[in-house]
Amino acid sequence: MRLPRFEYFEPGTVEEACALLLEPGAKALAGGTDLLVAMRQKTLTPRALVDLKRIPDLDGIVQTGDGWLSIGAATPLRAVAASALVNERFPMLAHAAASVGKPRVPEMATLGGNVCLDGRCFYYDQSRLWKRSVAACFKDGGDRCHVVKGGRDCHALFVADTAPVLMALQADVIVATVVGERRLPLEKFFTAKGAQVNILEPGEIVTRIEIPAPNRHSAGVHLKHSLREAIDFAIVGVGAVIAVDPEDWTCLDAHIVLGSVGSGPLRALEAEAALRGRSTDEGAAGAAARIAASEARPIGHLGFSAGYRRRMVEVMTRRAVMHAWQQALVNLEPEEARRD
């Protein structure tokens, strides 16, 4: 399929890009691995594309003086996965970045583009020609959801691999507008609504993702379950970070975020609470995983039933919690040895 006609702009600054994106029908272009496919399908037909990759301030990975890691939104996923700094401090993010499609997708796709990924839906993602045979859905400006019959909202599925990991790491996102920028926790960036999965308005772009220095008694893990590991979107993804209390070796803090179970990343707050203050053995991890599965409440979507997804949430959460806990204990052992 051919791309529809569009105007193309290469702004040199963030301010210029935001001004261009205020125009009706303008879309931001970073890696284009999702947007250009949608344009070929005629799912999206923007009047203009604003290429962000020419803006130097949007690329690169740096460590700030206060220990935070700052990653430009236009940084390719390949660069994130290969970064020595990311692998040393946040290996779970490197793993998540490397898991996004293979072999060419990480070369082009960007971290900001993955965070801003649109929701997936079997009905919405079809070509315009195919969609002539069905009534328009909420995401297409209609009045129904074809996934949940009688549903009052869009249930497009959010499947980005890096977002649950970044949320578990308590990352912030920097959003630029024509009048300046604002900073907010990534957790507040997502709406959990399929029709518009994030809070970005016309004229706004994500410029950087910033991650606080990790607790030195913590560890994190990213797990992804998909049919074909090198190609498919996740059926279920989990990002988990566990911090150990060095005094009594119990769980000091926990962050568990689920992906591909709803219209946005889901933080399993009750499962996290069940782990705090306890020694995280198989029993505690299993109990937390069952709680996470009940919090998720996935629906059947993209060929997988709700029951299967719920079971995979439990399995993957238990594994992620145990892996993170065991790695946190390994990280703690050198310090204990120095005390002795």
Identify which of 109, 122, 161 has the alpha carbon closest to the alpha carbon of residue 41: 122
Reply yes or no on whether the pLDDT at 74 is more than 80.
yes
Per-residue pLDDT tens over the stretch 119-157: 888 888 888 888 888 899 888 889 989 888 888 899 888
- What is the predicted pLDDT for the residue at 338? 46
Reply yes or no on whether the pLDDT at 87 is more than 90.
yes
- What is the predicted pLDDT for the residue at 231? 55
Single-letter amino acid, residue 157 = L
Reply yes or no on whether the pLDDT at 335 is more than 60.
no
Reply yes or no on whether the pLDDT at 105 is more than 80.
no
Distance CA 234, CA 100 (A): 9
How many contiguous H segments (helices) and E segments (strands) does the chain have? 12, 12
Residue that is written with structure tokens 């210029």 in the block: 16
Q: 329 versus 71: which is more confidently predicted? A: 71
Residue that is written with structure tokens 């709680």 in the block: 291
Reply yes or no on whether the pLDDT at 340 is more than 50.
no
- What is the predicted pLDDT for the residue at 181? 94
Reply yes or no on whether the pLDDT at 67 is more than 60.
yes
Reply yes or no on whether the pLDDT at 24 is more than 60.
yes
Q: Where are the domains of the chain?
A: 56-116+157-211, 218-334
Reply yes or no on whether the pLDDT at 337 is more than 50.
no
CATH fold, domain 218-334, is: Enolase-like; domain 1 (3.30.390)
pLDDT band at 71 (very low <50, low <70, confident <90, very high): very high
- Are 112 and 30 contacting, i.e. CB atoms less than 8 angstroms apart? yes
> Could you say which DSSP state residue 301 is in?
B
Per-residue pLDDT tens over the stretch 236-249: 999 999 999 998 99
Reply yes or no on whether the pLDDT at 332 is more than 80.
no
- What is the predicted pLDDT for the residue at 294? 95
pLDDT band at 268 (very low <50, low <70, confident <90, very high): very high
- Per-residue pLDDT averaged across 24-44, rounded? 89
Write the burial class of residue 176 (CB in 10 Å: 0-12 exposed, 13-18 middle, 19+ buried). buried
Identify which of 1, 217, 31 has the alpha carbon closest to the alpha carbon of residue 126: 1
Reply yes or no on whether the pLDDT at 264 is more than 60.
yes
User: CA-based Rg of the chain, rounded to a whole angstrom?
Assistant: 20
Reply yes or no on whether the pLDDT at 28 is more than 60.
yes
Residue that is written with structure tokens 């690169």 in the block: 60
> Could you say which DSSP state residue 268 is in?
-
Distance CA 2, CA 274 (A): 52
Pick the CATH number of 56-116+157-211 from 3.30.465.10, 3.30.70.270, 3.40.50.10470, 3.80.10.10: 3.30.465.10
- Per-residue pLDDT averaged across 86-111, rounded? 88
